Structure 1
C-alpha cells in the first residue's frame, strides 16, 4: 500500500502550466548566469583532460551521479575516453579502476557528500588530477580539487527549493560544454562520431560504402554495344532493375539504357526492332566509385531524378550497380 505523502489537491491544469513555465525560466536564468561566470578555469579543465594519457573518471552521488553517468557517456561518444565510478563503490574496491594517467571529474552540488569526500585523499595520493564541478566553492571537494568549475545556482526550480533540478541542469550543461570543447580540440569529425554509433542512422549514413550495398556479378544487367535491341530488353527484364549498362571490351561503361529511355523513344515513334544497344543507349552514364559512401549515391539519385547508378572500380571498370531499393533496405535513406 502506498504511503501517504500529503493531501492531494484536485489537479489544476493552469497551475501545472504555470509551474512548468516557471521551471523553464528559473533554469534558463541559471544557465545564463553560469555562462556569465565562465572563466579560464574552464579552459584549464579542458586542457587537463586533453593532456592526460588515460581516461576521464566521472564520479557523483545521487542525482549528481545520474548526471555524471550521462556526462561520461557523452565524453566517450565524442572522442574522450570516459567512464563512471560510483563513489560508494569506490570505497569498496572500485577505486582500483582509477589509475595514474587518468583524471577524475567529481560532481557534487554541495561539495560535501560524504561518500565522495572520503575518497578524495586517496585520489590525491594517486597523483591523479581532480576537477570539481560544484556549487560549494569553499567545500571540501573544492579545496581538494586542482580545477573548480563553478556550478552554483541561486535556487532550485523545485517550489520548496529542495529537489535537485536547477543544479543538475547546470551540471548537465557544464558537462556538455566540456564535451563540445574537447571534441573541437581533438578535431573530432562526423565520421568519428559514426564509428562510435554504428547502430544508429548516422552510423549507417557515414560508414556504409557503395560496395556494401551494390549488386554484383550476374545480378548486374550489362550488354555490349552491338547487342541487338531484343537481347537488351531480355537482359533488362531478367535483372529487374529497369536499366542495363552498356560496356566496352574492357568492361568500362559507355552508356546506359533505362525504362525511361524506352518510353521516350516509343513516344517519339522510333522503330527499335533493328537497333543496337549503342544506338539507343544514353551515352556518358553517371557512375560512382565502389569506395564512395552509399549516402553519396542516394544524393546523386535525388539530384538527377534516377533510381540506379552504375558502380565502377579504381580502374573505371563496371563492378556493380546500386538501386534506390538497395539503399532503402540498408536504411541509408
Structure 2
C-alpha cells in the first residue's frame, strides 16, 4: 500500500488546485522545523513538500490518481498522463523541502517577513494552528489583510500560490582589489576566483559553483574605481543575485606614493647639499632614471616637478601626470667644534 498524499495534506481526491495550495500552506507552516520542534517535524515537512510537488503537477497527479505511489515511482505506470500502455514514470522527489517552501511563499522565511520575528519562529501569542488567524485570514483567505500590509508585501501573491512576491535584488557584494602602481601604469588583467550559489534545473535546489572573473585594470585608473559584474552573487529561488563589485585600492609602494596621476618620490639630501646645491637621480615607474639638478637652497618639503613622468591620465591614457620630487633634508646628528664655528661665521644670523 503506497502513501496517501491526499491524506498527508488533509484533503480529498476531489480537492481543487486552490484547495491543494491552501492545504500545503497550512501544513507546511504547522510542521516547519523553525516552528515545530518535535522529532518527526523534519520528516513530515519533507513529506508535505513531496505531496504538494505531486498533487500540484497535473501530469504527476494524473499518474498518481490512476496508479498510486508505485505506478508513479516506477512500478509500471505509463510514461505520460495520457498513455495507456506499459512504461515507467520513475518519479523521485529530489527537491529540497525548504526550497519548495521558499518558492511557494516567495521568500526564505515568511515568519520574519510577516511578523518581524528575528529568531526564526512564531511569536508566542500566535494561533499555533493558523498563524494568520489574527489577520482575519483563517481558512486560507487573504481578504482580512489590511490594505497597507498587503501592499507592503507586494500583494502577497505567493501566499495564495498563484503568483510569487516580487523578487528583489540582493545588495552588492563588495571586494577590495589591491593593485600596484606598476599595474596602474601599464594596465593589466586580474583573475579573481569567486564562489557563488546557482540554481539547479529544478529551480528549487541550488549548488555552490566556482567562477573566475577577469577584471581589466585600465591605465591610470584611480583608487576607488569600481568594476561591477552584474548578478554574480548567490542565486536562490526567491532572489535576484547581487552584483559583485571590485573596488580598486592602491597597494603600498616601497618607493613612491600616489597623488592622483602624479607620483611622489621622496628624495633625501644632506644639509650640505641642501645649502650648496645638489643633483638627484629619481627612478621612474618604467625602470628608467631621470636627473634633477638644483642650485637653489633646498628647504624641507620643497618640491620639484618632472613633467610627464607620472601615471597615465584615466580619460586620456596618451597623457601622463608628473613625477614630483619631494625633498627631505637630513640634518647631521652632531657637529665638531670647528665645524660649528665655521658655520657660525659663514651663515647669516637672520
The higher relative CO (CA closer than 8 Å, separation ≥ 6) is in: 1
**TM-score for the superposition, normalised by structure 1:** 0.20
Q: TM-score scaled to structure 2, two decimals?
A: 0.19
> Looking at CA atoms only, which structure, 1 or 2, has the larger radius of gyration?
2
Q: Larger strand proportion, structure 1 or 2? A: 2
